[in-house]
Amino acid sequence: MNDFRPSLRTPAPERYGRLRVQAADLGPARWLTERAPGHGDFGTVAGVAAPGFAGYARVLHPASLYERPVRWAAVAAAYGREVAPGTKWHELIGAEPFYQNASEYGLPDVWDEHPAEGPTPPDVARTLIPILARHTETPERCWFGLWEGYGRRDFSRVRCFETPGRREVLLSGTLADAVSPVSCDAFDELPDLWWPQDRAWCLGGDVDLVSTYVGGSRALIAELLAAPGLEAHPVAPGDGVG
């Protein structure tokens, strides 16, 4: 999670990377804000992504060793443990829930950096995009939510929509544009939420999580679980996200 001093905040832009900031009409996000009680509660898979899909997958953010990605399964094997769909990173490495830095827990020749907390890491996002594109009819028209609290942009005067526990700035663009913020500014975060106009799926992340969650069709979830470039597990909408 990035922590920037207020003096480093810049005015809210009309664009965020190639994504357009949508402040006038929050209608495209209404389906996320008008949830029935008990459907998509804070701290659950459907609370991070969205309720109502046929299946869900948890995509793990990789750890790293010398800036190269390391799968959780490789870390687990080094500790004599296994990764289950609900495994928490701190449990995997034998740390306290609110670990502070990698140097206390890194394992030589296995890992030296914790998985990235926050939205989907760019390299994981680039692997996800072509898979997601195959499971929507509207990859050229997508919507995104960016948590207003990341700190590098001043969105205080921009209308936001609310999801469980968060306020999000609404953005629009193509699915491929999802990674454009880091192409324009390496310190910008990717959006937390992604969904296409046809609502065929929804991808969700959070500032405090080291996983990305995707809800969609059974075919999409099956492809995510089988993708060689991803480390993903099936989860249920009511499962906790830690």
Query: What does the pLDDT look like over 99-121, one tens digit per residue?
Result: 655 556 799 999 999 999 999 99
Verify that 129 and 172 share a domain, yes or no: yes
24 — pLDDT class (breaks 50, 70, 90) = confident
Tell me: pLDDT of 1 over 60.
no
In terms of DSSP bridges, do strands 193-196 and 202-204 run parallel, antiparallel, or are they unpaired?
antiparallel
Tell me: pLDDT of 187 over 90.
no
State pLDDT tens for residues 33-69: 887 665 668 889 999 999 999 999 999 999 999 999 9
In terms of DSSP bridges, do strands 55-60 and 15-16 run parallel, antiparallel, or are they unpaired?
unpaired
pLDDT at 59: 98
Task: Tell me whether residue 3 is in a domain.
Answer: no
Verify that 51 and 121 share a domain, yes or no: yes
More confident of the two residues 9 and 16: 16
Other beta carbons within 10 angstroms of residue 100's beta carbon come to 10
Domain that holds residue 175: 8-60+117-235
Verify that 39 and 75 share a domain, yes or no: no
Verify that 94 and 190 share a domain, yes or no: no
Verify that 161 and 226 share a domain, yes or no: yes
Verify that 24 and 78 share a domain, yes or no: no
Verify that 125 and 214 share a domain, yes or no: yes
Question: Mean pLDDT across the chain, nearest whole number?
Answer: 90
Verify that 185 and 214 share a domain, yes or no: yes
Residues 6+ apart with CB under 8 A from 144: 19, 170, 171, 172, 173, 178, 191, 193, 194, 195
Task: Tell me whether residue 97 is in a domain.
Answer: yes
- DSSP-assigned letter for residue 38: T
Tell me: pLDDT of 3 over 50.
no
pLDDT at 103: 58
C-beta separation of 197 from 141 below 8 A: yes
Domain total of the chain: 2
Give which of 219, 215, 222, 217 is closest to 236, Cα–Cα. Answer: 215
pLDDT at 152: 74
Task: Tell me whether residue 240 is in a domain.
Answer: no
Verify that 160 and 210 share a domain, yes or no: yes
pLDDT at 173: 98
Distances (CA, A) of 5 to 130, 155, 168: 36, 15, 20
C-beta separation of 201 from 136 below 8 A: yes
Verify that 134 and 55 share a domain, yes or no: yes
Tokens 């990173």 correspond to what residue? 89
Verify that 82 and 175 share a domain, yes or no: no
State pLDDT tens for residues 121-166: 999 999 999 999 999 999 999 999 999 988 678 888 899 999 888 9
Task: Tell me whether residue 81 is in a domain.
Answer: yes
pLDDT at 100: 58
